[in-house]
Amino acid sequence: MNTPTFSDLGLSEPVLRALADCGYEEPTPIQHEAIPVVMAGDDLIACAQTGTGKTAAFALPLIDDIATRSARKGDKPLVLILAPTRELAVQIDENFRAYGRYTGIRTVVVLGGVPSGPQIQKMRDGVDVVIATPGRLIDLMEQKAVSLEDVEFLILDEADRMLDMGFMPDVRWIAEHVPKPRQTLLFSATMTAAVRSLASTVQTEAHIISVAPPATVADNIEQKVMFVRKHHKQDLLLDMVKKQEAGKVLVFVGTKIAAIQVTRHLQSHGVRAAAIHSNKNQAQRQQALEAFTGGKVSVLVATDLMARGIDVDDITHVVNFDLPSDPENYVHRIGRTARAGRAGVAVSLCAIGDVPLLRGVERMMSRSLDVHEDHPWHSSRVAACLSASARAARSRARSGKARGSGSKWQR
């Protein structure tokens, strides 16, 4: 079947023009499947990870709907988007502004950690789309500084993450205050029982679309592992970064302390690096992210939680300085590279303590990672730690079919 174009999907001319400016040539699978459902006015549950183009999958039809209305009754928001982190909210806002640049669509980001005055003022001036993290939105609702009475579209983005972060009661409370009938779109990387339960309370007869089964990794990501003793990890990272010509490196660490230490080590050796973790305030995080996006720093060191909103197209390398304790996070992490169809490299540094985590990742993916031994800190002791049975499992898995869609977009 031929892939439809954006114009086949029925998007209007100002939106098509903005997409051309963004350099998007064709819809990604999630866009191709979700846009007609949203345009038909139906509720939607989409199982899709970051990196699949999911933001445009809901933003484009909503912008199109608002832009093509002949008359707009008032100045109160029509769309409410809830996101788990500030970084993701800002990213969604940037996407709306890029895709809506020829439509005059008005957006506001409502998030904590910054003064609420400008957010309130912006809403008074009139907005179409509110993009919010739950906590600050509830504050403003309680102060009656935001009115949701005209909202027709409720979008829950990264619903699984919102629930993981304990936002379930907040999300339900907010949803109860959004009038019905409405259209509710729920996006989630994983479809857990909690996500299904939330969906059943906020939606009616939703279409279900799944384009990114858990543990599917785009096949344009080269994945490898380096065995190293724990106390050599910093030097190995430094060496990799220094050898790295141009390019952007995103480093994942397990704790904020590690984020600080690793960043300092890199900086003390002349590497332009920044850290993003929950001890930093919103302005500092945004500053670090902008420095990385704009190329002022070439290495960003992040914890898993903070990494959620990092949407930078040209990350060439993801380094798992610490392996994630949840194997599914491995997929989220490495999906930060090889975005928008580019190639990327994901390197995991595995010390003795990481071996069980590495095995968990390999089991989940039904494949082994290529071992890269050609570095001065290679530890054969760590390598040996993978028991004979693990090796047998690894070679069995290697001969099995690696998962992956074969398409440049994650399915």
Binding site for ligand AMP (CB under 6 A): 24, 27-28, 31, 50-56, 311, 313, 339-340
Q: Which is nearer to ligand AMP, 91 or 184 (CB)?
A: 91
Which residue number, 59 or 258, has a Cβ lying nearer to ligand AMP? 59
The least distance separating ligand AMP from the CB of residue 171, rounded to whole angstroms, comes to: 20
CB of 295 to ligand AMP, least distance (A): 16
Taking the complex as a whole, how short is the minimal distance between the CB of residue 88 and ligand AMP, in angstroms?
9
408 closest CA partner among 52, 8, 139, 40 = 52
**Please, which residues have CB within 8 angstroms of residue 376's CB and are 6 or more apart in sequence?**
239
74/295 with CB nearer ligand AMP: 295
Query: Nearer to ligand AMP by C-beta: 29 or 77?
Result: 29
Least spacing, CB of residue 54 vs ligand AMP, in Å: 4
Report the alpha-carbon distance of residue 128 to residue 79 in Å, rounded: 6
Instruction: Quote the radius of gyration of the chain (alpha carbons, Å).
Output: 22
Find tokens 């629930």 and name the residue.
163
Residues 6+ apart with CB under 8 A from 302: 250, 251, 252, 253, 259, 275, 276, 277, 310
Give backbone dihedrals phi and psi of 74, rounded to 5 degrees, phi first. -130, -160
Judged by beta carbon, residue 199 or residue 212, the one nearer ligand AMP is 212
Cβ-based nearer residue to ligand AMP, 211 or 323: 211
Region of residue 205 (left: phi > 0; alpha: psi -120 to 50; beta: else): left
CB 34, min distance to ligand AMP, A: 11
d(CA 164, CA 303): 15
CB of 276 to ligand AMP, least distance (A): 17
Report how far apart, in Å, the C-alpha atoms of 371 and of each of 163, 225, 226, 279, 328 are.
Answer: 36, 5, 6, 34, 20
Amino acid at 117: G
Helices (DSSP H) in 40-133: which residue ranges?
A: 54-67, 86-99, 117-125
Q: How far is the CB of 303 from ligand AMP (least distance, A)?
A: 19
Cβ at position 31, least distance to ligand AMP in Å: 6
Cβ atoms of residues 187 and 48 within 8 Å: yes
**Residue of 170, 145, 157 lying closest to 80 (CA atoms):** 157
Strand partners, 210: 47
Minimum distance between the CB of residue 381 and ligand AMP, rounded to whole angstroms? 40
228: which 2 tokens?
A: 């190293």
